[in-house]
Amino acid sequence: QVQLVESGGGLVQAGGSMRLSCAASGLSFSNYAMGWFRQAPGREREFVATVTRSSEYTYYADSVMGRFTISRDNVKNTVYLRMNSLKPEDTAIYYCAAVWAPHSSFHSRTADAYHYWGQGIQVTVSS
């Protein structure tokens, strides 16, 4: 059974930093591209960042470019999202997700492409 479990969320002041982790089990982690998405109240789920299966490439939403960093550890089966210079508009439930990667450069910014999802974790940025 595949499980993705997020941790590290909570409350932070604007301008602060936070690191999210997502521990994966039940899948061959290094064969999957990993992504982070978020959903704020009343809004659609949106793409945040993705990393290819061996970390060759990373991609970011324009809204987080230069502030967030996605990384992964294929030994620990974990993907991370380092968030700096947080803004109140970053407040959302953050989800990690896994998509089967048929080749090393495969990635997707589309939520529907992802096969597995975590339960989500709340990140709240106060002004």
User: DSSP letter at 56?
Assistant: S
Cβ atoms of 94 and 22 within 8 Å: the answer is no
Spell out where 1-127 has E strands: 3-7, 10-13, 18-25, 32-39, 46-51, 58-60, 68-73, 78-83, 92-100, 116-117, 121-126
- The alpha-carbon radius of gyration of the chain (Å, integer) is 14
The tens place of each residue's pLDDT in the chain, 127 residues long, gives 999 999 999 999 999 999 999 999 999 999 999 999 999 999 999 999 999 999 999 999 999 999 999 999 999 999 999 999 999 999 999 999 999 999 999 999 999 999 999 999 999 999 9
Cβ atoms of 7 and 21 within 8 Å: the answer is yes
Closest CA to 46 of 1, 112, 105, 102: 112
Grouping H, G, I as helix, E, B as strand and the rest as coil, residue 116 is strand
Distance CA 74, CA 46 (A): 25
